[in-house]
Amino acid sequence: MQNTENRIIIIGAGLTGLTLAYYLKKAGKNVLLIEKKDRPGGVIQTNTENGFTYETGPSTGVLSSEELADLFEELKNDCSYEVANPTAKKRYIWKNMKWEALPGGHDFGAVTTPLFSLKDKLRVLGEAFRPKGGHPDETVAELVNRRLGKSILDYAVDPFVSGVYAGDPAQLITRHALPKLYALEQNYGGFIRGSIAKHREYIKNATPKVTKDVFSAEGGLQKLIDALTQKIGNENILTSCENVKAETLPVGFKVSFSRDTEEYNFSAQWVVSTVGGYSLASLLPFVPPAQMHHLTNTTYAPVVQVAAGYKNWTGIKLDAFGGLIPTKEKRQILGILFPSAIFKNRCPEGGALLSVFMGGIKKPEMFYKSDEEIKQIVLDELKITMNVHAEPNLLKIHRYRHAIAQYDIKSAQRFETIRHIQQQYPGLILAGSIRDGIGISDRVKQAAHIASEIIQTL
Ligand SMILES: Cc1cc2nc3c(=O)[nH]c(=O)nc-3n(C[C@H](O)[C@H](O)[C@H](O)COP(=O)(O)OP(=O)(O)OC[C@H]3O[C@@H](n4cnc5c(N)ncnc54)[C@H](O)[C@@H]3O)c2cc1C
């Protein structure tokens, strides 16, 4: 066994593992990343083909944490941050066979929009005076119904939840899934009061870093992965590792795995897992099954992501971020992003790049459809929603069985179990999107915090 004191082993070289490794390496720590696939990056991957630069996983992030802003600042010489085109701010919602713009905060759209019922528009006026909810496990659907009304749930929150979680608002627990929304009601008495107070706080204390901008990296999110990988050093990232397993030692851990035909064993003082709940039982066989059950039973939304590229765009005007489709509209897809409208150089001049999302918690069967079936569904849906009748010049299908962890009723028990396991086995950290949020910003924030914790201890 290769024995090195104070080694930190990170399992999983997605954005969480890479960010953590970057900060540990920067602090001079002995860090080793162990990855199952043949490349680092996890679900983030950008490909360039035939004049199109498309993402196969996440397309955008939101600059909603200082930690993410700091990371971009650190990497600025290797990776340029790209803010979404201001002309692509609008969000469309599909209703009665056409796109309607989701009202923004500063216009009369909220009054005139056909998305919401008159009754709910009037209800919104009284939102500030509605009492606080008292049930900590209230779902997003229950909370929105109670404070705003059914049409706002159906035509704003349901599609938003599809866009973020590929989830179901009736299953997501607000305090876990949308903690900022939950806090608006709990801390300020309502969404309107809370939003006004938050805006005032923001102006007063403005951390200019947390801009809430939608972003990518110039050339795609892969550039962020490449920059992190380069800083960490390839010698510290082992890819194509199979049967990764940790065991406890009297002090620290032993991590074993196979790679090509060789078996490897490393000792480590810290082991940080960033993998999904479904991978943990084989990775941590020493954790009793009764505890492990609360991690492996994490619900995941399956997602099929389809990149569709057109060299000569003839469909509707792409003047928005994209469009989301409420469940009530009973279509086969969850939504469409317009990456070529949001970012530069994603398609040939005069063309378009779309990113279509399908499946999710409400339509998991999409994951099991053949490529031919997926292609047909996408073409049919794009004809109706985007008025495009030509075949795309590029069509790439990517399936994720475990795309997005759901912060549902099982989450509280999961978080509690993670706390217990970490106390039982000092030096073991269970990270990744099984806790602390699922977005890019959440992942970087979690990694930065774990890095500080380890650096302070070692
Ligand atoms: C299709 C899709 C679209 C998304 N869109 C967005 C978006 O637009 N905006 C946004 O903010 N977020 C989005 N997300 C969420 C996004 O996944 C996260 O923000 C982030 O990229 C996840 O990083 P991670 O490192 O935690 O996990 P991952 O990227 O999943 O990385 C985990 C790594 O662990 C490895 N691994 C797993 N098991 C083992 C094992 N036993 N041994 C060794 N290695 C193992 C995996 O191969 C993987 O490389 C999207 C996710 C998906 C799937």
Confirm or reject: Cβ of 71 under 6 Å from ligand 1: no
Q: How confident is the model at residue 203 (pLDDT cuts 50, 70, 90)?
A: confident
Mean pLDDT along residues 70-83? 95
Ligand 1 contact via 301 beta carbon (within 6 Å): no
> What's the rounded Cα separation, in Å, for the pair 290 and 282?
14
Type of residue numbered 254: K
Q: What is the pLDDT of residue 107?
A: 58
Label the pairing between strands 98-101 and 91-95. antiparallel
Query: Could you say which DSSP state residue 266 is in?
Result: E
Residues 304 and 376 in one domain: yes
**441: in domain:** yes
Write down the pLDDT at residue 6.
82
- Assigned token pair, 108: 């009369």
- Output the CA 367–ligand 1 centroid distance in Å: 17
- 220 Cα–ligand 1 center, Å: 16
Ligand 1 atom closest to residue 37's alpha carbon, by position in its atom list: 47
- What pLDDT sits at residue 121? 92
Domain count within the chain: 3
Tokens of 67: 């930690």
pLDDT value at residue 205:
73
Residues 238 and 383 in one domain: no
**Residue 190 pLDDT class (50, 70, 90 cuts):** confident
Ligand 1 contacts CB of residue 39 (under 6 A)? no
Instruction: Provide φ and ψ at 26, rounded to 5°.
Output: -60, -35
pLDDT bracket for residue 110 (50, 70, 90) = confident
Report the alpha-carbon distance of residue 402 to residue 22 in Å, rounded: 25
| CATH code where residue 429 lies | 3.50.50.60
- Nearest residue (CA) to ligand 1, atom 8: 58
Residue with tokens 């915090």: 449
215 forms beta bridges with: 61, 83
DSSP state of 293: H
Domain membership flag for residue 2: no
Q: How far apart are CA 272 and CA 248, in angstroms?
A: 13
Same-domain pairing of 260 and 241:
yes
For residues 218-231, one letter each, b for 16 or more C-beta atoms within 10 angstroms of the residue's C-beta and e for the rest, the string is ebbbbbbbbbbbeb
Is position 270 within any domain?
A: yes
The percentage of residues in the chain with a pLDDT greater than 70, rounded to a whole number, is 98
Do 415 and 283 lie in a common domain?
Answer: yes
Whether 136 shows a pLDDT value over 60: the answer reads yes
- Taking the centre of ligand 1 as the mean of its atom positions, its distance from the CA of residue 44, in whole angstroms, is 7
Q: Provide mean pLDDT across the span 29-37.
A: 97
User: Which residue has the least CA distance to atom 34 on ligand 1?
Assistant: 12
Amino acid 196: pLDDT: 86
Q: Is the CB of 363 within 6 Å of ligand 1? A: no
Q: Residue 3's pLDDT is what? A: 53
Tokens representing residue 204 in the block: 């007063």
**Mean pLDDT for the stretch of residues 110-118:** 91
Q: Are 57 and 211 in contact (CB under 8 A)?
A: no
Q: What amino acid occupies position 444?
A: V
Residues 150 and 200 in one domain: yes
Domain that holds residue 308: 300-405
Burial class (CB in 10 A: 0-12, 13-18, 19+), 245: middle
Q: Ligand 1: distance of its center to the CA of 224 in Å?
A: 14
Which of 203, 164, 206 lies closest to 181, judged by CA?
164
- Give the position of tokens 């608006």: 184
Q: What is the pLDDT, as a whole number, of residue 206? A: 64
Nearest ligand 1 atom, CA 305: 1
Instruction: Determine the Cα–Cα distance for residues 197 and 74; give it in Å rounded to an integer.
Output: 32
Specify whether 195 is located in the same domain as 237.
Answer: no
Q: Which atom of ligand 1 is nearest to the CA of 59?
A: 8
Please report whether residue 52 resides in a domain. no
First to last CA, the chain: 22
Whether 127 is covered by a domain: the verdict is yes
Tell whether 186 and 144 lie within a shared domain: yes
Determine, yes or no, domain membership for 391.
Answer: yes
Does residue 439 have its Cβ closer than 6 Å to ligand 1?
Answer: yes
Tell whether ligand 1 has an atom less than 6 A from the beta carbon of residue 432: yes
Asked if residue 217 belongs to a domain, the reply is: no
Per-residue tokens: 83: 């803010």
Closest-CA residue to 447 (of 12, 17, 6, 8): 17
The verdict on 443 and 318 lying in the same domain is: no
Read off the pLDDT of residues 383-411 as tens digits, 9 standing for 90 and up.
999 999 999 999 999 999 999 999 999 99
Q: Does residue 440 share a domain with residue 392?
A: no
Protein residue closest via CA to atom 22 of ligand 1: 15
Single out the residue of 396, 48, 42 nearest to residue 225, CA to CA: 42
What's residue 128's pLDDT? 84
Q: Is 64 in the pocket of ligand 1 (CB under 6 A)?
A: no
Residues 6 or more apart whose Cβ sits within 8 Å of residue 126: none
Tens digits of per-residue pLDDT, 413-453? 999 999 999 999 999 999 999 999 999 999 999 999 999 99
- The contacts found for 367-374 with CB under 8 angstroms, 24 or more apart, are 367/302, 367/303, 367/304, 367/399, 367/401, 369/304, 371/397, 374/304, 374/306
Is 167 domain-assigned?
yes
Report the pLDDT value the prediction gives residue 106, as an integer from 0 to 100.
Answer: 57
Phi, psi of 454 (to 5 degrees): -70, -40
Q: Is 206 helix (H, G, I), strand (E, B) or coil?
A: coil
- d(Cα 395, Cα 300) in Å, to the nearest integer? 25
Both 320 and 384 in a single domain? yes
Identify the domain boundary among 205, 239, 267.
Answer: 205
Structural Rg of the chain based on CA atoms? 23
What are the tokens at 443?
């992942």
For residue 328, the one-letter residue type is K
State if residue 255 touches ligand 1 by the CB under 6 angstroms criterion: no
Write the DSSP string, 22-67: HHHHHTT--EEEE-SSSSSSTT--EEEETTEEEESS---EE---HH
Q: Are strands 81-83 and 214-217 parallel, antiparallel or unpaired?
A: antiparallel
Ligand 1 centre to CA of 59 (Å) is: 12
The CA distance from 453 to 64, in Å, is 22
> CATH number for the domain including 371?
3.90.660.20
Q: Atom 38 (ligand 1): residue with closest C-alpha?
A: 275
Question: Vertex 435, ends 15 and 332: CA angle to 5°?
Answer: 75
Residue 277 has pLDDT above 80, yes or no: yes
Same domain, 237 and 289: yes
Does the beta carbon of 37 sit less than 6 angstroms from any atom of ligand 1? yes
Please indicate whether residue 443, judged by its CB atom, sits closer than 6 Å to ligand 1.
yes
Residue at which a domain ends, from 205, 237, 253: 205
- Torsions phi, psi of 360, nearest 5? 75, -175
Q: Which residue's CA lies nearest to atom 2 of ligand 1?
A: 57
Specify whether 307 is located in the same domain as 286: no
Nearest CA to ligand 1 atom 25: 14
C-alpha of residue 394 to centroid of ligand 1, in Å = 24
Tokens representing 455 are 């650096």
Query: What's the 387 CA to ligand 1 centre distance in angstroms?
Result: 33
Cβ–ligand 1 distance for 42 under 6 Å, the answer yes
> In angstroms, what is the span from residue 275 Cα to ligand 1's centroid?
8
Length of the chain (residues)? 458
